[in-house]
Structure 1
């Protein structure tokens, strides 16, 4: 077999989730077009001849592409990521050497937005509290679960006009919500074009029945929702986080949730897996999922399809459609 020029550093399980047989065959064909073979490995250290590698497909847990690693891959020209953010492993050294980077985050926006919508409806309608009351406390309807609300005409704060934030905006607008968009990079005209009212963070927190987080992990967004911000939320309001735990002060949120004043639906946590002794597991006003908002069958296969498209384009000398620049990396979540 010829030396692998295209290497997929993706576990066998994730490979099956991301790539249909047809799309993996496209990777093999692209490798042949690049003048060599295709190889899937669990770890980059398993590549027999890294000096031959021209393109790498990565997944979660990829090691940083520092100078020492890149020195062992002098022919590397493309890093194609099956996920969204490439911040954990893409270094400035990649850009300095002219190596292109691409990712499949677009495919994750819709499924995460759908989970955010499901969370929103669940909190509005008090589904976590009613489920807990029926399962754990017996009886029938318990008025102490709190007032139920519909999404029609509900003011919902959308924190961040990311790809997922925009997909979520389109979903809640279709159901008649009144979105309040908080994003310093979006002006009032663009917010209006997205069907939302531009708002400041404090104003949105005071007004919204649901606060949905879709902001990137930047220094300016670290713990942007702390004790002061949570206290601005009205009694009975709900917090939805399918973005990053980075955005929320976990201690402050736990304190508010313990009080029962607000509710939350969370897919992301500071500690993952979430500790078995976490109080979040016991609270009736909290809905939890294990960081799987993007884990739909269709979404995963679309991620693989995007990567196969990009690798195919690279092998044919065509422009990439989902490339990441040094400037984009600086503001990427």
Structure 2
């Protein structure tokens, strides 16, 4: 911007996003330095495809974005592609509010080429996801899912001596001092590493996009996927779903889990071969705690629902009231930094694009 007017900031999303994600204090903070406008759109977005938008809706979207200095996109928004960017002479900032940070709502290559800043605040859910990952690790080590199933089935709660001889109770471990493997070292993993510090665990991490300097500073060992699957007592899947990670944990990798290991998935179900995981779980020598599955919802006749060594939750890890408002709070911070001439913190870059493509 070269004039003295306030920048025009717009949000393209469903009405649910507007109602649940925008807290009044954050909106007031934004309106101190910008004019804000919301416009309703209801396009379907998938991680592996751009929104399929009609000619009429795209024309409306171009008209909306065309007079903005910054546009925020979220669930329901059409794609901010070349035709939109080229029709928006004042546009200098595009923000992905929340959803899947590998969704296709922003043409980042085109934005970079036109000098438009692209940022992403999806990491706002890293706090609740990391907390739930830690909770699932503890649940898995204590085999609490099996105990819960028995209690709600009104089974007898035997004496301590009796329980010591039962298989469900022999799987009763603590996290302190264990070896933990993390698949992925993004925002969620880094928050989880902070939460794990009091437990004194040894950390093995696989992430092909992480530098060794980061591993040293955060206190983990950067290693291969094979090592992360085979050596730890607990393995946590935190990788994003991309063409390169879809099906990455298959039969061969699941077979590497050592007997007694706990496998936790709080990322995306399609990263794991569901049939191979169920097959290994049926041998009853590992435990799984899953917030995500493939497909979702889990079919009512799926074997995974009945296995005693499985704890399930319905993709709730990142869904809290606080995390919803945190996305917009973080985005306002990015807008504030950008329009005051400071560097933004959560940029979508060519490196992120390479990660998206599994390169």
Which digits, 9 at most, give the CA deviation of each residue in 1:221-266, with x for residues without a partner? 3322111111111222111111222321122112222332322112
With 240-249 and 72-81 compared, the bigger mean Cα shift is at: 72-81
* CA distance in 2 between partners of 1:220 and 1:15 (Å): 33
1:105–1:291 distance in 2 versus 1, CA, 3 Å? same
* CA distance in 2 between partners of 1:321 and 1:192 (Å): 22
1:7–1:63 distance in 2 versus 1, CA, 3 Å? same
Q: Say whether the 8 Å CA contact 2:70–2:93 is kept in structure 1.
A: yes
Which digits, 9 at most, give the CA deviation of each residue in 1:183-219, with x for residues without a partner? 3444666434322234333233222121111223344
* Counterpart for residue 118 of structure 1: 135
Which digits, 9 at most, give the CA deviation of each residue in 1:123-181, with x for residues without a partner? 00111011112212612256221421000111111122212112112222322222222
* Counterpart for residue 168 of structure 1: 192
* CA distance in 2 between partners of 1:24 and 1:272 (Å): 34
* Counterpart for residue 243 of structure 1: 267
Task: Answer yes or no: is 1:206 the counterpart of 2:230.
Answer: yes
Which residue, out of 144, 151, 156, partners 1:134?
151
TM-score by length of 1: 0.86
Paired residue secondary structure (2:343): coil
Paired residue secondary structure (1:221): coil
Shift of the alpha carbon at 1:79? 1.4
* CA distance in 2 between partners of 1:103 and 1:30 (Å): 20
* CA distance in 2 between partners of 1:331 and 1:187 (Å): 14
* CA distance in 1 between partners of 2:29 and 2:13 (Å): 16
Shift of the alpha carbon at 1:30? 4.0
Shift of the alpha carbon at 1:287? 1.8
1:286–1:60 distance in 2 versus 1, CA, 3 Å? farther
Task: Answer yes or no: is 1:59 the counterpart of 2:74.
Answer: yes
Paired residue secondary structure (2:267): coil
* Counterpart for residue 295 of structure 1: 319
* CA distance in 2 between partners of 1:199 and 1:247 (Å): 19
* CA distance in 2 between partners of 1:164 and 1:200 (Å): 19
Paired residue secondary structure (2:11): strand
Shift of the alpha carbon at 1:24? 1.5
* Counterpart for residue 12 of structure 2: 9
What is the 5 A alignment of 1:1-333?
5-32=8-35, 38-43=37-42, 45=57, 49-50=63-64, 51-83=66-98, 85-91=101-107, 92-136=109-153, 138-141=155-158, 143-145=166-168, 146-186=170-210, 190-332=214-356
Q: Say whether the 8 Å CA contact 1:173–1:195 is kept in structure 2.
A: no
Structure 2 residue runs of 5 or longer lacking an equivalent are 1-6, 44-56
Q: Say whether the 8 Å CA contact 2:249–2:271 is kept in structure 1.
A: yes
* CA distance in 1 between partners of 2:17 and 2:231 (Å): 41
* CA distance in 2 between partners of 1:220 and 1:47 (Å): 31
With 91-100 and 118-127 compared, the bigger mean Cα shift is at: 91-100
1:43–1:317 distance in 2 versus 1, CA, 3 Å? farther
1:20–1:264 distance in 2 versus 1, CA, 3 Å? same
Q: Report the number of matched residues.
A: 326
Which digits, 9 at most, give the CA deviation of each residue in 1:35-88, with x for residues without a partner? xx5234244846594232332211235333233444554443221122261442
Q: Say whether the 8 Å CA contact 1:86–1:103 is kept in structure 2.
A: no
* CA distance in 2 between partners of 1:68 and 1:185 (Å): 31
Shift of the alpha carbon at 1:318? 3.7
Q: Say whether the 8 Å CA contact 2:141–2:175 is kept in structure 1.
A: yes
Q: Say whether the 8 Å CA contact 1:256–1:262 is kept in structure 2.
A: yes
